Structure 1
């Protein structure tokens, strides 16, 4: 995994599995209203990752920060709000990538694709580009989610996998078994406590990690989504519509 992804993934897998899913979402939501939506997001993510390999992990982390504070509503993208929240300043990256994708989508499907969905699908394609959790490609849910309230920031979730930095895999957990967790908050996951068996399982069974990660990401994308006429489809992801 690249910079900024590992701790995020561990928290998603170990915490989001216990999160109840809500809302009625569909992975084919934009097939009729904006058929080129997913392809546009995918190409935007691919270009960003090609230019900066760390950007893939940053987009995944951005999605995590958005969903775990009052649900997946893209509020983390609002300038002057979450972007500038204490824990996020100088820490979160990828806002420009999402803005660029949003601009492209507005040119082909005006005020149709929500910022929350762009961020969710960008995180999905980030994982695909790095070769992990392939079943996310068909299972990741999207919806007409919107983007309203201000919400607080999360703590620093940055981490580094120096073993396989350009691959999405389970090396984070094998590092923990070797007492090579980058941060103390990572290493405590394998510290003679209740999460030890989970770490051992993911370290020894890449398929188990991939399956659990897929399930967790889908559940995270279902945290308090705004659907139908709730919220608004922003023209710009960095500000509310005037």
Structure 2
């Protein structure tokens, strides 16, 4: 899985053209040693703050990983998701995928504060978000990878990009694949990166249609395991309870492993966007099996 998870960190190559807070960022390629001389403790600082945050709240690992994903799918991995509304900027935090949902901003703020004391005006927020995603994966038992560094921070945000580019829980398989292809990612990347749903939570409002009214006919999703559907209905009522949380992977919700894929084989994927990887495309189905059978 390592190769495919690395792909998301490489999206920033050529896709993050602006610089807000980093004096040292040039226009060249990203490389892991970017801060070796200008801020040698940069990666250690990120790792320590993330470790403290995840120890306090295990769910934070998934939130930081998701923050990176939602950043990268809008204008590249440029930290545009961190910007608040101001002047001509309409914050991406207000988009449908992020509103009342995106988390971890205070952890990024803490990392940035420590970083500014250690080496002022040197490390970009975009690189901090990318490193925090990697460290969150490692801390929960997942693979590690070298993070290419040297991203530039955005000077602007894109509310429309956030609303339109990020795959939604009830998108069709083809829509999700198209959104990945627009980022230069293929079907293998789609299935591998979806595996990050082995950690974290989702809100009732993101999957309510599945146990109640998937196709608009008042019937549950026929690809949903019936006993699992009953469990979902107990804490996700037909109306109300929008913010009630459910584990994306009920088997090992805070461990980065392949049980997410095993759940899909059993028709126990929480989100429609998860389960369609197994039910709606032959190539995707075989990839799910590959990951399910081999940790």
CA 84–129 in structure 1, closer or farther in 2 if over 3 Å, else same: same
RMSD: 2.3
Give a deviation string over 1:77-104, Cα, whole Å, max 9, x none: 0112112223311010000100111011
SS in 2 for 1:179: coil
SS in 2 for 1:31: coil
TM-score by length of 1: 0.73
Match in the other structure for 2:105 = 95
Answer yes or no: is the 8 Å Cα contact 1:115–1:147 preserved in 2.
Answer: no
Match in the other structure for 2:271 = 183
Distance 2:29 2:110 in 1: 28
- Does residue 150 in structure 1 map to residue 157 in structure 2? yes
Match in the other structure for 1:28 = 33
Match in the other structure for 1:202 = 291
CA 144–68 in structure 1, closer or farther in 2 if over 3 Å, else same: closer
CA 21–79 in structure 1, closer or farther in 2 if over 3 Å, else same: closer
TM-score by length of 2: 0.60
Distance 1:102 1:85 in 2: 24
**Could you list the runs of 5+ residues in structure 2 that have no partner in the other structure?**
15-27, 86-90, 170-201, 203-246
SS in 1 for 2:257: coil
Of 60, 82, 100, the residue aligned with 2:92 is 82
CA 20–103 in structure 1, closer or farther in 2 if over 3 Å, else same: closer
The alpha carbon displacement at 1:133 in A equals 1.1
Larger Rg, first or second structure (1 or 2)? 2
Give a deviation string over 1:65-88, Cα, whole Å, max 9, x none: 000111011000011211222331
Give a deviation string over 1:154-193, Cα, whole Å, max 9, x none: 3556461111112101111100000101122211111152
The alpha carbon displacement at 1:146 in A equals 2.1
CA 147–20 in structure 1, closer or farther in 2 if over 3 Å, else same: closer
Q: Where does 1:116-195 land on structure 2 (aligned, <5 Å)?
A: 116-134=126-144, 136=145, 139-152=146-159, 153=162, 154=166, 156=168, 158=202, 160-191=248-279, 193-194=281-282, 195=284
CA 21–114 in structure 1, closer or farther in 2 if over 3 Å, else same: closer
- Does residue 108 in structure 1 map to residue 118 in structure 2? yes
Answer yes or no: is the 8 Å Cα contact 2:168–2:273 preserved in 1.
Answer: no
Match in the other structure for 1:52 = 57
The alpha carbon displacement at 1:16 in A equals 6.0
The alpha carbon displacement at 1:149 in A equals 2.3
Distance 2:43 2:103 in 1: 21
Distance 1:164 1:86 in 2: 28
CA 150–44 in structure 1, closer or farther in 2 if over 3 Å, else same: same
Give a deviation string over 1:90-126, Cα, whole Å, max 9, x none: 0100001001110110111101000000000000111
**Could you list the runs of 5+ residues in structure 1 that have no partner in the other structure?**
1-8, 207-242
Distance 1:155 1:77 in 2: 19
The alpha carbon displacement at 1:44 in A equals 0.6
